[in-house]
């Protein structure tokens, strides 16, 4: 989505597909579901895979959402992203 020259990209539930690179490349904010830390689950992203692809995506800011207990338990290990949480407020653009 683009508004006044600012780009927001969002993934729903999805396994890794290279189309996510194109979707997030110009994004000022890329919001990605990130269900597990490193375990592959059908129709969901895992942080380990996403983390490796972030340099290709190149979004200015990344927020992770739709996290399972497994992912939440590893929240201290998150690098280069912000973990969404209830009540989180961010300023866009």
- How do residues 20-30 score in pLDDT, each as one tens digit? 999 999 899 99
pLDDT at 74: 95
| Ordered DSSP codes for 19-78 | HHHHHHTT-SEEEEE--BSS---TT--BHHHHHHHHHHH--S-EEEES--HHHHHTGGG-
pLDDT at 26: 85
C-alpha distances (whole Å) from 34 to each of 4, 24, 55 are 28, 15, 17
pLDDT at 49: 97
d(CA 37, CA 78): 9
Structure tokens at 75: 């929240």
- How do residues 45-93 score in pLDDT, each as one tens digit? 999 999 999 999 999 999 999 999 999 999 999 998 999 999 999 887 6
């Amino acid at each position: 989505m683009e508004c006044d020259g600012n780009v927001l990209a969002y993934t729903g539930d999805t396994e890794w597909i290279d189309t996510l690179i194109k979707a997030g490349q110009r994004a000022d904010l890329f919001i990605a579901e990130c269900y597990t830390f490193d375990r592959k689950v059908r129709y969901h992203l895992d942080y380990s895979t996403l983390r490796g692809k972030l340099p290709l995506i190149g979004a200015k800011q990344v927020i992770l959402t739709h996290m399972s207990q497994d992912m939440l338990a590893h929240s201290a290990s998150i690098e280069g992203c912000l973990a969404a949480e209830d009540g989180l407020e961010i300023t866009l653009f």
